Amino acid sequence: MANDTNLEINLHPTQDELSRQAFIVKFKQKVNLDLQKDIRTYVAKNIAPQLESDLGEPLDDLNRDHRKALKQRMADEHLFQTWESLTWIGQDMMWNVVDETLDHDLPRIDAAAAKVLKRKDKLGSLTLDPNLDLPPNIAKVEIHRQPGGFCLERDGVDYDLLSGARMTGGGMLYGAGKGRTAKPGYSAAHFLISEAEKQFGKLKPKRILDIGCGTGFNTATFARMFPDAEVYGIDVAAGLLRWGHARCESEGVPIHFNQMSTAKMDFEDESFDLVASTIWGHETTPQILQDSIAEIWRVLAPGGISFHMDVTNQPGYQGLVDQVLNDWQIRHNGEPFWMGWADADLPALMTAAGYPEDCQFTGYRKRTQGAGDWFVHGAQKPA
């Protein structure tokens, strides 16, 4: 697993924990890849023909009534029930192994962070806003079933890194369990920049904003790729930003982390040449997404580029069986906003926020690491 123990602000699992991690990833891959494939085959052979005959029409991926009808039929199937149980168990095992490491490693990480943060010559900054009205969709939900959620703050802990540590440990296993292993050192931000440059030519941003930056993993890639740029990362979750700040300072990457919502950003109009995000939009609500799309346009400088990558669970892209599996993940696996994202009409949201139609883009881009695509959306503001 990608447990780089050369980095002091990172999880350092024991050999036993590494071997449990490897088992959990294999387990999750069996469930997420092989079993899901078996379910698709099973439905096509054993459920769809009868359902189509009962409905009197062919199944249509865009028809919500068809999704509902298929969901009802699948609910009683042993194969689907097995998948539900194993998906749940796999997620439990994942968080257990992360916490097993943190039980012995968090004190070391806390001490390493404290040492880094005492330095007078810090490269970036961390600005938290204790008065921020935390959006309940993040603050009150255990996204991905992460214990305590992203906004976890333990009583009596001054510089609480636990949510950032958990997101870092769980994120790696979660992605790998879906077959998304990237070569070491490659992050989604590399893909984003290479796609943006294919579309717009060489980028030379002076100010970059990464929205919904989480622990700043991708923000750090932006800063490394554009060492002359001033780079900002925003998120609502303080613990994730603390982790990002400590880790980036420890690695010598200058980033300004700010706790704020993408729906109301405390930045001047037209102040960023590049506004980017990686897997942020699918964790918003429809209202927050609409407000954030407007805010992105407001802070984007003339000639600037807004470029965002996210999950591909749109009906039409995704068949009915996967929509039913998604629906289960929404209800039971800490992905409550997936369906809102799947149904989001990005062109309509951008147009409503004043983006000229000929400046916008949306579409699917083939991943260069791992199977599948990314959904991308964004715009270039006229110069």
Ligand X SMILES: C[S@@+](CC[C@H](N)C(=O)[O-])C[C@H]1O[C@@H](n2cnc3c(N)ncnc32)[C@H](O)[C@@H]1O
If one asks whether residue 105 binds ligand X (CB under 6 A), the answer comes out as: no
Tokens read off for 83: 């998948």
Strand order from edge to edge, sheet including 272-278:
125-127, 256-259, 230-235, 207-211, 272-278, 300-310, 373-380, 360-366
Whether the Cβ atoms of residue 365 and residue 195 lie closer than 8 Å to each other: yes
**How many residues are present in the chain?**
383
If one asks whether residue 173 binds ligand X (CB under 6 A), the answer comes out as: no
If one asks whether residue 255 binds ligand X (CB under 6 A), the answer comes out as: no
Q: Where are the beta strands (DSSP E) in the chain?
A: 125-127, 207-211, 230-235, 256-259, 272-278, 300-310, 360-366, 373-380
The one-letter amino acid code at 355 reads Y
- Binding part of the chain for ligand X, among 32-40, 121-129, 236-244, 354-362 by CB under 6 A, reads 236-244
Residue from 192, 275, 279, 320 that binds ligand X (CB under 6 A)?
Answer: 279
Residues with Cβ within 8 Å of 232's Cβ and at least 6 positions away in sequence, in order, are 207, 208, 209, 210, 255, 256, 257, 258, 267, 272
Nearest approach in angstroms of CB 288 to ligand X is 5
Residue from 214, 239, 304, 315 that binds ligand X (CB under 6 A)?
Answer: 214
- Of the pair 372, 382, the CB lying nearest ligand X is at 372
If one asks whether residue 164 binds ligand X (CB under 6 A), the answer comes out as: no
If one asks whether residue 135 binds ligand X (CB under 6 A), the answer comes out as: yes
- Binding part of the chain for ligand X, among 61-69, 192-200, 214-222, 353-361 by CB under 6 A, reads 214-222
If one asks whether residue 225 binds ligand X (CB under 6 A), the answer comes out as: no
If one asks whether residue 284 binds ligand X (CB under 6 A), the answer comes out as: yes
- Binding part of the chain for ligand X, among 43-51, 197-205, 255-263, 324-332 by CB under 6 A, reads 255-263
Quickly tell me which residue has 């802070």 as its tokens. 299
Residues touching ligand X, count (CB under 6 A): 23
Which residues contribute to the site for ligand X (CB under 6 A)?
A: 135, 138, 150, 188, 212-214, 217-218, 234-237, 240, 261-263, 278-280, 283-284, 288
